[in-house]
A = this chain, B = another copy of it.
């Protein structure tokens, strides 16, 4: 097994192919390491430069006078084997090969050389043909996309293992915007050496990581992948999206990362058997990630719906039932308190429609009732900010209630600019906010399903 720590937490990094021209890949990588505030040593390597971005530049990795933990390689494919060989001789323990031009365009032999060199030196190599690695807590960022084009997420609990760089970068960018955080991100491309199974094993042990997201086109070692998911899904939730679910899609995958995407039915069965949570769309990846990152486990499936709009209450009820959950009945006490403390227009039933003139304090009262009610296992709060009486104070109320962490609480809000502002405030405070009842209910159902599975696994 390869030691992946030098990849994710290096104390010093060589950037082989460092460039002086702004916009060039080798320049963006140096800049991102500098700009992200990486506190270790940064060694640009380029035989034709003496300085890059104010840093001394070396002719080769062998010319660097001090110890080098890790290297990022971004040079033409044919030059990569020699650079990698030099890394091995230098004692570099982890290398990210950004360069493309290997198996994905038919250069299988060139790719095989990388594996041979890595093996010879016992050196962890990620790539080639990949975006590399981001670790916000260690300020490691080998991604060659400028930050104004692709935002970088804050520190959080979600780890991403992405075979595709493009899918990975869109996801990173979206997460940065949505305001939730990541623990680690790795785009591993052709997986010539380190593959998805190695990365799964590493991240399952990573303390910062609470949930692992996996985007795969095909896996390298089927048997090991099976064993790893079987073991690790009990420890941490693994959400997987498989690309190439159709025959035509699988064929497209082959020309993309050189993957044999295999039979989707086999993957689907594996996911199901090993309790890997399968996402069928990119939307689901996010939807699932944010509830698993922030909400407590929950084995009960009785849901309270609190809303200020009847129609959204109906749609959410449908979605809850369709996803195999139930509406909480509410105790007599809860019903009595609703009648006692709320206006006559509020029916003491579930969904609890606080009606269009509900303000933050009515939501607070309703949330207290739902948290205190033993017939309620989980709570969905719908906040339609279009009404006159609902404003950002309800965000504080919801965040405070969710902070107790006793029952999962998720929200639904849909609308324009004002709503979007409130929605992001919720998300960045750790309350998942969904733009549709179906997305919210589906995500909650997955959380419950997984909670039940791990509760059962513990009992054994």
CA of A377 to CA of B232 in the docked complex: distance in angstroms?
A: 45
Give chain B residues whose Cβ lies under 8 Å from the Cβ of A150. Answer: 386, 415-416, 418
Contact A388 B435 (CB under 8 A): no
Total interface residues on A, using CB and 8 Å?
A: 85
Closest chain B residue to A168, Cβ basis:
B311
Which 9 residue pairs across A and B have the least CB separation, nearest first? A166-B309, A164-B311, A256-B310, A249-B318, A177-B416, A173-B415, A167-B311, A246-B321, A173-B416
Instruction: With CB as the reference atom, state the residue of chain B lying closest to A442.
Output: B281
Of the listed stretches A45-53, A141-149, A194-202, A359-367, chain B binds A141-149
Q: Does A347 contact B (CB under 8 A)?
A: yes
Contacts of A113 in B (CB 8 A): none
Whether A321 and B248, one on each chain, are in contact in the complex, defined by CB atoms closer than 8 angstroms, is yes
- Docked Cα-Cα span, A284 to B53, in Å, equals 48
Q: Is the CB of B321 within 8 A of A249?
A: yes
Whether, in the assembled complex, A385 has its beta carbon less than 8 Å from a beta carbon of chain B, the answer is yes
Q: Is A149 a contact of B280 with CB atoms below 8 Å?
A: no
Please provide the chain A residues from 57 to 112 with a CB less than 8 Å away from any CB of chain B in the complex.
100, 104-105
Whether a CB of chain B sits under 8 angstroms from the CB of A432 is no
Contacts of A414 in B (CB 8 A): 170-171, 173-174, 282
Q: Copy number in this complex?
A: 2
A217/B314 in contact, CB under 8 A: yes
Query: A309 with B356: in contact, given A151-B416, A243-B318, A252-B317 (CB under 8 Å)?
Result: no
Minimum CB distance partner of A28 in chain B: B388
A298 within 8 A of B: no
A215 to B261, CA, bound (A): 41
For residue A415, which residue of chain B has the nearest CB? Answer: B173
Within 8 A of B (CB), among A221-259: 243-249, 252-253, 255-257
**A349: interface (CB < 8 Å):** yes
- Closest-by-CB residue of B relative to A311 is B164
Assess whether A132 is interfacial by the CB under 8 Å rule.
Answer: no
- When chains A and B are docked, how far (Å) is the Cα of A310 from the Cα of B311? 41
Asked if A283 CB lies within 8 Å of chain B CBs, one says yes
The answer for the CA separation of A314 and B418 in the assembled complex, in Å, is: 35
Whether A282 contacts B174 in the complex (CB less than 8 A), given A388-B146, A416-B151, comes out as no
